[in-house]
């Protein structure tokens, strides 16, 4: 079967024929009045193609059509076409061939290096791509693109300090603020240091993440986690409370940690009181607290249980599943048991459903991901709200 690249090269040979290559109009012989014979090189190339020997045809093309000012664009076009089709080895061969030309203008050399770096990236040869982008980032018209690519590579390799350096250079060159992105790089470093129990370094990195007009909520959460892990419960609780008080979307992460920390301290009474006073100040948080409690299966805390109950009874979709009339008439114990059954079912369903969704591209996941694996945006995920239960219940009722 002829491959796509066979057709591609065949098209190129046709174009060459139209331009006079087949008749040997280019090259050394150009005598007038003698009918030119068919170019032997050209015929050889066609023969390879007819035998579906694409690599040989390509090699032949590269030998036959030297890189010069007239043909360089054709070489570039062929290279990027191969890359787009996923035939990376061939794209690499073409771009290396361009670079090998000794008298290449510096702009064309940069273009070829940039193309080759993209080939390497596509082939997963990150260290080779990194070297070339790094060279281009030192001074070329691809500086900004090269730095952007370097940031992506360092993110993939978890080389956060290098990512910070590249990001800061990029800010200067592009005039764009990368504050959020760089704050996350520092948070990554902080989490790595904390994992190695180097808490002093971890705290220093969080401080850097939070300096300036940082817009990330992650710094506060990381700082609270470090305090919790180093036994500074008071600070940890204060910070988890602050995240929840500020009514940020991170309540879904902070509330379970808060409950855990109070429980660890054996201070459930204090938890009751603090959530109670929080709800007096911000009654609109009831729904978020209920949702978070259901998806994280937090139970046995009076004030939170009441939020969950209220939520279940006020949800129109859930009302179809809970017989409200009967529930109200039942005695307290039966009522509690019925609600408990519904709640347990919801928690089970929530456990197998994505909880977070990227607001940029819609990618969803069960755990919070600071960088979206799909569109690479930072801190673009938000928790689903109750709407998810609608689709869950629809799905489960459709399955019945
Ligand atoms: Zn995304």
pLDDT in tens, 21-44: 655 555 444 445 554 555 666 667
Contact call for residues 375 and 360 (beta carbons, < 8 A) = yes
Average pLDDT (272-276) is 93
| pLDDT tens digits for range 318-329 | 776 666 667 667
* Percent of the chain whose pLDDT exceeds 90: 48
What's the CA-to-centroid distance between 194 and ligand 1, angstroms?
27
Residue 62: strand, helix, or coil: helix
- Here the contacts of 90-99 (C-beta below 8 Å, separation 24 or greater) are 90/5, 90/54, 90/55, 90/58, 91/115, 91/119, 91/122, 92/116, 92/119, 92/120, 92/123, 93/58, 93/59, 93/62, 94/58, 94/62, 95/119, 97/62, 97/67, 98/67, 98/72
What's the CA-to-centroid distance between 378 and ligand 1, angstroms?
8
What's the CA-to-centroid distance between 315 and ligand 1, angstroms?
29
Average pLDDT (337-345) is 82
Instruction: Please tell me the predicted confidence (pLDDT) of residue 29.
Output: 45
* Percent of the chain whose pLDDT exceeds 70: 80
- Binning pLDDT at 50, 70 and 90, where does residue 65 land? low
What's the CA-to-centroid distance between 377 and ligand 1, angstroms?
6
User: Residue 257: pLDDT above 90?
Assistant: yes
Instruction: Please tell me the predicted confidence (pLDDT) of residue 400.
Output: 44
What's the CA-to-centroid distance between 114 and ligand 1, angstroms?
26
What's the CA-to-centroid distance between 211 and ligand 1, angstroms?
26
What's the CA-to-centroid distance between 367 and ligand 1, angstroms?
14
What's the CA-to-centroid distance between 41 and ligand 1, angstroms?
50
Where does residue 266 fall: left (phi above 0), alpha (psi -120 to 50 degrees), or beta otherwise? left
What's the CA-to-centroid distance between 359 and ligand 1, angstroms?
7
What's the CA-to-centroid distance between 375 and ligand 1, angstroms?
4
Q: What is the mean pLDDT of the chain?
A: 84
In this structure, how many other beta carbons lie within 10 angstroms of the beta carbon of residue 399? Answer: 6
Instruction: Please tell me the predicted confidence (pLDDT) of residue 321.
Output: 67
Calpha distance 58→3 (Å, rounded): 13
User: Residue 390: pLDDT above 70?
Assistant: no
């Amino acid at each position: 079967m002829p491959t796509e690249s066979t057709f591609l090269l065949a098209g190129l040979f046709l174009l060459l024929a139209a331009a006079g290559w087949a008749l040997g109009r280019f090259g050394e012989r150009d005598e007038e009045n003698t009918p030119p014979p068919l170019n032997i090189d050209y015929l050889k190339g066609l023969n390879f193609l007819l035998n579906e020997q694409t690599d040989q045809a390509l090699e032949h093309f590269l030998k036959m059509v030297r890189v010069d000012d007239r043909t360089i664009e054709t070489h570039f076009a062929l290279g990027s076409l191969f890359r787009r089709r996923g035939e990376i080895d061939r794209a690499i061969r073409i771009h290396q061939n361009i670079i090998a030309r000794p008298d290449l203008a510096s702009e064309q050399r940069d273009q070829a290096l940039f193309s080759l770096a993209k080939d390497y990236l596509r082939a997963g040869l990150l260290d080779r791509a990194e070297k070339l982008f790094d060279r281009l980032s030192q001074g070329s018209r691809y500086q900004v693109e090269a730095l952007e690519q370097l940031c992506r590579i360092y993110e993939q390799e978890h080389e956060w300090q290098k990512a910070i350096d590249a990001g800061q250079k990029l800010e200067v060159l592009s005039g764009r603020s990368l504050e959020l992105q760089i704050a996350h790089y520092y948070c990554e470093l902080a989490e790595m240091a904390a994992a190695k129990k180097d808490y002093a370094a971890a705290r220093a990195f969080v401080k850097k993440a939070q300096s300036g007009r940082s817009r990330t909520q992650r710094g506060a959460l990381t700082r609270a986690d470090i305090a919790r892990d180093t036994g500074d419960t008071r600070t940890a609780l204060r910070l988890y409370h602050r995240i929840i008080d500020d009514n940020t979307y991170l309540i879904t992460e902070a509330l379970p940690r808060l409950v855990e920390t109070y429980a660890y301290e054996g201070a459930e009474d204090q938890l009751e009181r603090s959530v109670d006073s929080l709800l007096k100040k911000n009654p609109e948080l009831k729904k978020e607290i209920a949702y978070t409690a259901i998806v994280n299966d937090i139970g046995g805390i009076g004030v939170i249980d009441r939020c969950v109950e209220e939520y279940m009874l006020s949800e129109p979709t859930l009302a179809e599943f809970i017989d409200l009339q009967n529930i109200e008439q039942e005695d307290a114990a039966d009522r509690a048991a019925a609600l408990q059954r519904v709640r347990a079912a919801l928690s089970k369903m929530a456990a197998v459903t994505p909880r977070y969704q990227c607001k940029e591209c819609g990618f969803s996941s069960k755990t919070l991901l600071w960088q979206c694996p799909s569109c690479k945006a930072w801190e673009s995920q938000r928790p689903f709200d109750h709407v998810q239960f609608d689709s869950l219940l629809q799905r489960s009722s459709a399955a019945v």
